[in-house]
Amino acid sequence: MDGPGFWGLPAGLLLLLLLPPPPRALAEGPLVFVAVVFRHGDRAPLASYPTDPHKEAATTLWPRGRGQLTGEGVRQQLELGRFLRGRYEAFLSAEYRREEVLPLLRFPTRSCPRYHELLREATEAAEYQTALEGWTDFLTQLENYTGLSLVGEPLRRAWKVLDTLMCQQAHGLPLPSWASPNVLRTLAQISALDIGAHVGPPRAAEKAQLTGGILLDAILANFSRVQRLGLPLKMVMYSAHDSTLLALQGALGLYDGHTPPYAACLGFEFRRRLGDPDEDAGNVTISLFYRNDSTGLPLPLSLPGCPGACPLGRFRQLTAPARPPAHGVPCHGPPEPATPAGDGHWHWGGSEGGRRSRDSHSRVLPAATVVPLLAGAVVVLGVLSTGLGLLAWRPSCLRAWGGPV
């Protein structure tokens, strides 16, 4: 028990009073820059399969065409637009301006055999092969049901079957009798295995440098350029596919095993701290949020190793292994022409399966080239902007490589 101190105060309390006060946490200041990456809304299936009972009625069921937004998808994008308008009113133009919207490109992994090598290493791992072998009987049976050849290279085609079934189910269409909840669950597990091979170990950081790390680096580079040149830009939006968001989550170390739902939105908010004597990057923090449910508030996220609002310098340090190095990302072979992609399940891989591209010629993509190659084609910015009005940026670094998507 503490003995008596001066003025009748306990000695322990007196000691606390004599200690210097802890450093005051700096107050979060004004929002100075925002980057958001969002997935498009509900869409029609990308493809069908030979025995699909709804195949002949596709033009009636999906009048805008395969892979295109449905009425529900339009509503989701408008709702997302209203959310962003309410959150960033001061950063957005009052009306939609066509010249403020930039189309973007996918990751350059089609032309990067090094990425295919990393992916092949993941798919040849014992854990991956064991899981795949456990589904051999299931895939053989699924072949009989769908008329597709699945055994041998099942993942991409199995995902397309899942995508078709899930889109049809979401729109109240009856599924074939064989498409039980257990079948859908197994197809989702197969899809998750494929996603893990693309964004997870082994060599997750190196894979991120060739996928989500490119977009992450571009977001940081855009902020730095705006600050350095005193540009009026306050907000950049990237319309993306599920694969884009998954890759970005992987680069941030935030992939949780779930595919982003339609209209999911990952946000980066840059704030200037008040009372910080450092006028450089040290007085800026980055806060992350994830909006995966339009009925609730966005979820705050923390970068692993930096809880809460993360100082910009610390954020750069922690994400450095997943971002392209300054000297460029090592890739081999000349770039292939870019081709359009739908929701794309893993279009990074190039051809079906995406694991066979090889070239003996060594090539390094310099950082100045890598950073501009952003992910995701603009899908519905016109629709989204009806709800919010867009303010995007048309910098010289965001050039199309290999033609528009």
Question: What are 78's two structure tokens?
Answer: 């408008």
Mean pLDDT of the chain: 77
Number of other residues whose CB lies within 10 A of the CB of residue 390: 24
How much of the chain exceeds pLDDT 90, in percent? 56
Alpha carbon distance 24, 394 (integer Å): 40
pTM for this structure?
0.77
Q: Which of 42, 194, 242, 343 is catalytic?
A: 242
Distance set, CA 238 to CA 104, 302, 350 (Å)? 8, 21, 22
* Alpha helix segments (H runs only) across 269-366: 312-319
Question: What are 55's two structure tokens?
Answer: 């195949």
Alpha carbon distance 165, 180 (integer Å): 10
Query: Are the C-beta atoms of 29 and 271 separated by less than 8 Å?
Result: yes
Please list the ranges in the chain whose pLDDT falls under 70. Answer: 1-28, 101-102, 104-108, 152-154, 275-282, 332-405
Give the chain's count of helices (H) and strands (E): 14, 8
Known catalytic residue at 242: yes
Closest by CA position to 43, among listed 383, 307, 312, 398: 383
CA angle 96, 37, 246 (to 5 degrees): 150
Alpha carbon distance 327, 330 (integer Å): 9
Alpha carbon distance 382, 75 (integer Å): 13
pLDDT per position as a tens digit, 183-225: 999 999 999 999 999 999 999 999 999 999 999 999 999 999 9
Write down the pLDDT at residue 94. Answer: 84
Question: What are 49's two structure tokens?
Answer: 């399969």
Write down the pLDDT at residue 121. Answer: 95
Distance set, CA 29 to CA 22, 91, 288, 299 (Å)? 21, 16, 16, 21
Alpha carbon distance 265, 289 (integer Å): 8
> Which SS3 state, helix, strand or coil, does residue 4 take?
strand
> Which SS3 state, helix, strand or coil, does residue 237 take?
strand
Question: What are 271's two structure tokens?
Answer: 């704030």
Write down the pLDDT at residue 282. Answer: 60
**What is the secondary structure of 9-51 as a DSSP string?**
-BHHHHHHHHSPPPPPPPPEEEEEEEEEEEE---B--S---TT
Alpha carbon distance 336, 143 (integer Å): 32
Known catalytic residue at 40: yes
Q: Which of 40, 54, 241, 332 is catalytic?
A: 40
Q: What is the largest CA-CA distance in the chain?
A: 91
Beta strand ranges found along 275-361 (DSSP E)? 284-291, 299-301, 310-311, 329-332
pLDDT per position as a tens digit, 1-49: 444 443 444 444 333 334 444 444 455 679 999 999 999 999 999 999 9
Write down the pLDDT at residue 348. Answer: 36
